[in-house]
Structure 1
């Protein structure tokens, strides 16, 4: 069962697992599509309705996806879905996943925390009550760790203090109300594993880039999202779209912000590996899910070079950083456990950048230039709700 299966990572994962022979159910409230309508910003790639996607997947693959439309914050709906489908694994992507969205105003900050934390707790209780053997695979974020001046371990750190040694959860330094919701999730899941004997894998994922997987490439109605706006668009995807339309790459602040990155094709493979190698009953394990580390300046240089090969004149500009974050810092995060399980990463290559840039060029006429510059400030968050970004 893939919660959030209509979203960017969830849709690609649903098709990948279905192709592998898993019986897959999608659970989704379709709220991500509602955000587009509310904010007046849309994916660069035109995506079909979930109903059309599922129908086309059956025609292309011969495989059926079960669909449950509803909100996991509604426990009665969730209970009916899990008791009907009886999943052996629940992959939980079903959260509001944007830091800027969570920092737009009080309403959206509260929504992010309620939706993410309560939805996760409902899934935990559904597993406890109805699916005690079920494996919860929860998408976390590398953003839970922040940017400490020491190496980032995978979930836990062994420390010696006043002559005594213990292995403890790695300290969390979240940098938005969204990232804080993920921290709450991790603590709640760890407690449930200890108290109830639940089995769970917390995937602290880096920044994902790319559009195509083998499955989403099979038909235009299966294509995935490509968000390029300043609320939902991630750095590399945004830069490629900006390059395609001749807009300077928007580097926030000094550009030294360094994070872990991975290809969407590696995301679906990581989900596959986590399911195929489940945690033990009572085990809470953490995998850092990324393949390479880049600074924002690194990405800008890579896109500039790739754009030149395609005849694009790419420039970059430093804009005031809307976030509260270190713009130059040490960053070295461990990410070995998924590789040990068999992950063979797709590293960011010139060929991959060419592919991503070509998608951006193909759909360049769909770009809304008003959505490129940042419009959400961490320091100016207000209790007054925003309506439409760019016009409010």
Structure 2
């Protein structure tokens, strides 16, 4: 099967592209490489040294003999998108090509508009391109568990059956997003659902939890294939940030009370979930929603786990509660369903002491690349424009 990975130079996209290629899929990557530009703009860098995309792809071919096609350009440029699709002729499109950071979207008006324009318009372009030229192509779209927010009821997988005034219906699950980024994902979900309903497209929305880890079978083959690992206050996610903070002797930065509970999964499960979705495509007109995660933890739970694992490898790890830069509940109910991917055959990697030990050792190896000025958050939900960001 021919699979085009949009956003294939990013954290999830790169690991997915290599995994699918290794599994025998014919893979293409489409990416405008803007994520690298944003690093330069924000004066930050991934913990791991990332080679240029052409070198990464060539190294993959040298090691495996497998080729990955590359299309460098922006999906907001519709003519470029159509030209690339017609040349590659995908049977499935995996869409990671979005601005994926909540703090980035909350920096100021400009970054909020950039996020929503890039994400919503880009996805709309993909929907129209598939409708016009590849109507049987299966769209696998990366959503986020953050679309749901923290409701005081169980979170179902995309849909909920309700009774009201004596009548019953199954409806899309209510969304309570917590940033302009998460709002863009909600808009995407609504647009894809609509396109499936009126055009008969087939799509799977993967509402992914917070991803952690670096290594997959493929990204661990050679240092030039290594994945990025973000630790800064804009793009860094909780567990990865905590491990890097522990490695350099910085207190673990727990926002507020630390009771915020979220869904998590290993990067190795991310790539497997995408493969499972591709291998069992949605039916024409069907908009499937899978909650893509394996475990749920509070931020405080994560910090304690990292502290314990750090102590076990000789690190002196402290935990520091700090003022929460976000507007969010810090003590709440959170219980989400995640059976669809397990039913398809996902065998999860669970967060364990050995995995934390591995991630910590990885952080220790590259700790000399850490810029300590980027450890603390700089973006405030309540005070947009307060962060000093280069233009």
The verdict on a shared fold, with TM-score over 0.5 as the criterion, is yes
**Which of 102, 121, 135 matches 2:124?**
121
Does the Cα contact within 8 Å between 1:251 and 1:296 map onto a contact in 2?
A: yes
Partner of 1:71: 74
- The equivalences for 1:1-392 within 5 A come to 1-382=4-385, 386-388=388-390
Deviation at 1:386, TM superposition (A): 4.5
CA distance in 2, matches of 1:380, 1:39: 18
CA distance in 2, matches of 1:236, 1:129: 42
SS in 1 for 2:26: coil
Does the Cα contact within 8 Å between 1:105 and 1:386 map onto a contact in 2?
A: no
Under a length normalisation based on structure 1, what TM-score does the superposition of the two structures give?
0.98
Aligned residues: 388
Deviation at 1:254, TM superposition (A): 0.3
Does the Cα contact within 8 Å between 1:200 and 1:285 map onto a contact in 2?
A: yes
SS in 2 for 1:271: helix
Does the Cα contact within 8 Å between 1:107 and 1:385 map onto a contact in 2?
A: no
Does the Cα contact within 8 Å between 1:106 and 1:385 map onto a contact in 2?
A: no
Under a length normalisation based on structure 2, what TM-score does the superposition of the two structures give?
0.98
Does the Cα contact within 8 Å between 1:142 and 1:205 map onto a contact in 2?
A: yes
Aligned structure 1 segments of 4 or more residues deviating by more than 4 angstroms? none
CA distance in 2, matches of 1:168, 1:8: 32
CA distance in 2, matches of 1:211, 1:47: 12
Deviation at 1:387, TM superposition (A): 2.6
Q: RMSD between aligned alpha carbons? A: 0.9
Q: How big is each residue's C-alpha offset from its partner over 1:22-47, in whole Å with a ceiling of 9 and x where there is no partner?
A: 00000000000000100000000011
Does the Cα contact within 8 Å between 1:228 and 1:237 map onto a contact in 2?
A: yes
CA distance in 2, matches of 1:272, 1:385: 39
CA distance in 2, matches of 1:385, 1:354: 34
